[in-house]
Structure 1
Amino acid sequence: MKNSWLAVLGCALPLLAAAQKPAVPVIRKNIPLDSIGLSDPFILADAKTHQYYMTGTGGMLWKSPDLKTWEGPYQVARPDPTSWMGPKPMIWAAEIHPFKGKYYYFATFTNRNIKIDTVQGSALERRASHVLVSNQPTGPYVPMGDATYLPANKSTLDGTFWIDKDGKPYLVYCHEWVQNQDGTVEKIELKPDLSGTLGTGQVLFKASAAPWSRENPRTGPARPNKVTDGPYLFRTKTGRLGMLWTSWVYDVYTQGVAYSRSGTLDGPWLQEAAPITPPNYGHGMLFRTFEGKLLMSLHSHKDIKGHYRRIPHLFEVDVSGDKLVLGQPYRP
């Protein structure tokens, strides 16, 4: 369990720092991608503005015309301070998705002052995936109809967006392992305008299903890791539905991929035997450049004397066959 707790602590440390940033960040210009410290980088290539917008953990936004140099960070999320999130929520793993003429901000919000559960003697803070909306990619992103997308007593994170073969929109998210002891990836239907959810969540798979995720317990032999992190959906050219997601191999942050046998979110989901990315890379997503090249955005994960350092990276990707094939690092 030690390595799993390292995963949680590693996620928490940069978020604590992000929460303590000044209300008005200092805007920097002409910053190379590898000079930006950012977890869970998500890049939107916006055709309307012909700009790339990058967000992630911390709730800030960077923009670039060419992926070479970036300007930011801009503060774009404006959740309701009177809601369960409180006046200064932590913001994790933000994503921006265009849908029906608007832009939707899928993110995890944490209110450290509200405790929702106690598991093995540890109190769990209120943390949940939620969706904000804006008329433009640069925000501001504000609340919609429903104050709560997922149950208040359920610790969820890393929500992403997917429209399945039934034409319905879905929120795909993780139920955190610190609460259920074997992290899951789940889905729940969204309202047609994404302003809330419908029905209840459905488990797609558990962390322990992946043959590549491993941890060393205090006693006994190595066993499957229990962390689920960063789901992201994609289709190959053959129409196969795949999902990127991240866990750990002992103390190494690692990303794998699963494929749906049915071609829908309902699965069943078949886990690839080996990770898809190099060691200490994870929480990836896919986007196409304005020139049509498919890229993966993800972050490297390095422990430097007890302090985690995360840097965004880009890799070339090929999905022209039946599986995702990771290529070389991309240098814009």
Structure 2
Amino acid sequence: MQLKFILCILILLPLASLAQEKKLRKQIPLDSIRLSDPFILADENTSTYFMTGSGGKMWKSKDLAFWTGPFDVVKHDPDSWMGKNPMIWAAELHKYKGKYYYFATFTNRDIKIDTVKGNVIERRASHVLVSDKPDGPYVPMKDDTYLPPDKPTLDGTLWVDQQDTPYMIYCHEWLQNWDGTMEKIELKPDLSGSLGKGEILFRASDSPWSKEKNDEGKTIPNKVTDGPFIFRTQTGKLGMLWTSWVHDDYTQGVAYSESGTIDGPWIQEEEPITPPNYGHGMLFTNFDGQLLMSLHSHRVGENGRYIRHPKLFKVDISGDKLVVGESYDPGE
């Protein structure tokens, strides 16, 4: 079935490309793009920046300042658990052993897996697609699922440890467990599936900076774990970017592994690392050698919907801890 599916994709690609060309926007400034969870791959082979995020689209740029898109790059299997038209969140691009991998959260709203405290939990999971090229198309691999179908999981990212073992780091959503967790699961050597069971690294309530008010008006730890990204400082310290909330402010934090491995224990920093209403960060180095953090700004529009735009900050990891510098304007 998978071979037939891939052959159909190849036949339809020329027609899809013609239709897509008419919808493309060109020379769009970065801060004019509406996008949550921006993830940027600086691909040296093509001297091109590729940006993905929530929504399942891709943008391309040669200079970070002006972008062309959005491109359709996902060719999921409509006969899989994802269904015909899944929601796609927090897509990431990772180059690994000569191929390109698309880590994303897929949601099939037609499948309900649980009900907790009146909230209906939809089928949602982190999954991995593959391509030979950074601009896709990204197609399914062997395994139908990476994570348990009865758990809503999101924001999967790739980490390869010093023994060359690949892992997916992901969140178990707070809507089900009421105290969101950050978890890891080992991946197969070609990332085509997962091995064993997920293990908890830390919980949302471990953070000293994330807060919310309960029904009685008392301040308590926030429930949300969001957007993990693993990095290592130049001194060898292992860190994890992750996001939660400080009351109504979407906020970027960081934790560090005391053991220097993915198993932790993870020690949370006392304070957030960015101004309020920035989050879901990741790190990349631009073609000039500058380390940057890509994340999105966050505000609520008049209709109550979130308005988010990509934003870049300069970052320094020469010491034991990540230091966020001034904002970076690629147009200057």
1:323 alignment partner, one of 321, 325, 330 = 321
Q: CA deviation at 1:291?
A: 1.2
CA deviation after TM superposition for structure 1 residue 166, in Å = 2.8
Aligned equivalent of 2:151: 154
Deviations 1:257-310 (A, max 9, x none): 000001111000000000011100000000000111000000000012212110
Q: Give the match's secondary structure for 2:221.
A: coil
Number of aligned residue pairs: give it: 311
Relative contact order (alpha carbons < 8 A, sep ≥ 6): 1 or 2 greater?
Answer: 1
- Contact 1:24–1:75 (CA<8 Å) still a contact in 2? no
Question: Does residue 165 of structure 2 align to residue 178 of structure 1?
Answer: no
Residue 314 (structure 1) aligned to one of 307, 312, 322:
312
The C-alpha deviation readout for 1:96-140, integer Å capped at 9, x for no partner, is 000111000000000000001111122100000000000000000
Cα offset, 1:196, TM superposition: 0.1
Matched AA of 1:328: E
Counterparts of 1:215 and 1:61 in 2: how far apart (Å)? 34
C-alpha contact 1:173 1:187 (8 A) present in aligned 2: yes
Shift in alpha-carbon separation, 1:26–1:236, aligned structure 2, 3 A:
same
TM-score (ref. length: structure 2): 0.92
Equivalent residue, structure 1, for 2:98: 101
Asked whether the 8 Å contact 1:79–1:142 carries over to 2, the reply is yes
The residue type equivalent to 2:139 in the other structure is: V
The answer to whether residue 230 in structure 2 is matched with residue 229 in structure 1 is no
Residue 119 of structure 2 contacts residue 175 of structure 2 at CA under 8 Å; is this kept in 1? no
Match of 1:50 in 2: 47
What is the identity, as a one-letter code, of the residue corresponding to 1:31?
A: I
Q: Is the 8 A contact 1:39 1:312 kept in 2?
A: yes
Equivalent residue number for residue 38 of structure 1? 35
**What is the SS of the residue equivalent to 2:23?**
coil
User: Is residue 36 of structure 2 the alignment partner of residue 29 of structure 1?
Assistant: no
Matches within 5 A, 1:134-283: 134-283=131-280
Please state whether the residue corresponding to 1:179 is helix, strand or coil: helix
DSSP-derived class of the 2:267 partner:
strand
Q: Structure 2 CA distance, aligned partners of 1:310 and 1:196?
A: 32
Deviation at 1:220, TM superposition (A): 4.7
Question: CA 1:81 to 1:331, structure 2 compared with 1: closer, same or farther past 3 Å?
Answer: same
Alpha carbons of structure 1 residues 25 and 79: separation in structure 2 relative to 1, 3 Å: farther
Corresponding residue of 2:113:
116
Q: Give the AA of the match of 2:306.
A: Y
Check whether the contact 1:25–1:75 (CA below 8 A) recurs between aligned residues.
no
| Unmatched runs of 5 consecutive residues or more in structure 1 | 1-21
Amino acid at match of 1:317: V
The residue type paired with residue 108 of structure 1 is T
Determine if contact 2:100/2:133 at 8 Å carries over to the other structure: yes
> Per-residue CA shift, 1:50-69, capped at 9, x if unaligned?
10000000000000001010
Q: Helix, strand or coil: the match of 2:222?
A: coil
Which SS does the other structure have where 1:208 is aligned? helix
Deviates more, 1:294-303 or 1:304-313: 304-313
| Cα separation, 1, equivalents of 2:305 and 2:157 | 28
Q: Counterparts of 1:296 and 1:238 in 2: how far apart (Å)?
A: 19
Task: Tell me the distance in 1 between the aligned counterparts of 2:66 and 2:101.
Answer: 25
Judged with a 3 Å threshold, the aligned counterparts in structure 2 of structure 1 residues 250 and 24 are, in CA distance, closer, same or farther, namely farther
Deviation of the 1:331 alpha carbon: 1.1
Give the Å deviation of 1:23: 8.1
Paired residue for 2:291? 294
Q: CA deviation at 1:165?
A: 2.5
CA distance in 2, matches of 1:194, 1:125: 25
In structure 1, what is the Cα distance between the partners aligned to 2:136 and 2:257? Answer: 34
CA contact (8 A) 1:25 1:74 kept: no
List gaps (5 residues or longer) in structure 2: 1-18
